[in-house]
Amino acid sequence: MRREQVFEFFRRLAEANPSPTTELESSNPYQLLVAVVLSAQATDASVNIACRPLFARIKTPRQMVAYGEDALRDAIKTIGLFNTKAKNVIALSQALIDDNGGEVPRTREELQALPGVGRKTASVVLNTAFGEETFAVDTHVFRVCNRTGLAPGKNVDEVEAKLEKIVPQPFRRDAHHWLILHGRYTCKARLPECWRCPAIDLCRYQPKTLAPTSRPARTASRASSKARTAKAQTASKPKASRSRSRPNRLP
Ligand code: SF4
């Protein structure tokens, strides 16, 4: 995408959602860090379900260490990789107590030195808790950046480096959230919902997905037999057939 198209892409996502943020629930940077660690290869919704009762009683690293690995494992057992994650959360909580007075550090180096914290987790915490202009690339961001031509890359590092370079102000701080939410709810993995995408004319992905009402025959084959019969009857009338075949309004 050209520079002015990149600006317009984010302007439209910003217009549609002026205050984007993470869908992980937390009440302080420590809880956010734990939630992001738990969200690896799991959905935000599943993490929120497990963490609501946990975070109601655990708000600090000291409380987490006192809670203990066995209790934590039980509390998060509905989340994938819960054994390893419980170990990491207890270890990182102990490290925060030992090395940082129980506070979440504000530098990437310190964050990535914690057990279970990689570059993506550090980026999310730096961005969401501390307002840094970081570009965490998860599966949604990777897909949107490649499909659209916004920041194509063979791996997450390449995509992140391109985003660093091309995302303009005033969108740098929230770009990561806009891209995740766009990928999660509109530019979906299996079938992007191009017909309701605010950036459809800027995106290079082809062919664009048509609105369900504009899609041809194959959709109808899944309809109920009653609907199929009604459709067949209508199809025999030339005028009705024309009205059903709506023109494709997508570019
Ligand atoms: S037009 Fe379609 S493929 Fe392109 S960003 Fe929008 S939803 Fe994704």
Q: Each residue of 155-166: pLDDT tens digit?
A: 999 999 999 999
- CA dist 62 and 38 (Å) reads 18
Say whether pLDDT at 231 is over 60.
Answer: no
Ligand 1 atom at minimal distance to the Cα of residue 198: 6
Q: How far is the CA of 199 from the centre of ligand 1 (A)?
A: 7
pLDDT at residue 21, rounded to an integer: 87
Q: How far is the CA of 211 from the centre of ligand 1 (A)?
A: 12
Residue nearest to atom 2 of ligand 1 (CA): 194
Ligand 1 atom at minimal distance to the Cα of residue 197: 6
- CA dist 9 and 227 (Å) reads 40
CB of 73 closer than 6 angstroms to any ligand 1 atom: no
Pocket test for ligand 1, best of 178, 186, 205 (most atoms within 8 A of CB): 205
Ligand 1 atom at minimal distance to the Cα of residue 209: 2
CB of 127 closer than 6 angstroms to any ligand 1 atom: no
- Written in H, E and C, the secondary structure of 5-40 is HHHHHHHHHHHHCCCCCCCCCCCCHHHHHHHHHHCC
Identify the band that residue 218 occupies on the pLDDT scale cut at 50, 70 and 90.
Answer: low
Q: Which of 70, 85, 99, 120 is catalytic?
A: 120
Identify the band that residue 182 occupies on the pLDDT scale cut at 50, 70 and 90.
Answer: very high
- CA dist 85 and 77 (Å) reads 10
pTM for the whole thing? Answer: 0.82
139-157 mean pLDDT: 96
pLDDT at residue 217, rounded to an integer: 60
Please tell me the least confidently modeled range out of 112-116, 178-182, 242-246.
Answer: 242-246
- CA dist 120 and 178 (Å) reads 16
pLDDT at residue 238, rounded to an integer: 41
Identify the band that residue 249 occupies on the pLDDT scale cut at 50, 70 and 90.
Answer: very low
77 as an active site residue: the answer is no
pLDDT at residue 250, rounded to an integer: 40
CB of 23 closer than 6 angstroms to any ligand 1 atom: no
CB of 193 closer than 6 angstroms to any ligand 1 atom: yes
121-129 mean pLDDT: 96
**Are 208 and 250 within 8 A, CB to CB?**
yes
- CA dist 225 and 231 (Å) reads 10
Q: Each residue of 5-28: pLDDT tens digit?
A: 999 999 999 999 999 989 999 999
87 as an active site residue: the answer is no
Say whether pLDDT at 241 is over 50.
Answer: no
Say whether pLDDT at 246 is over 90.
Answer: no
Q: Each residue of 83-111: pLDDT tens digit?
A: 999 999 999 999 999 999 999 999 999 99
48-52 mean pLDDT: 97
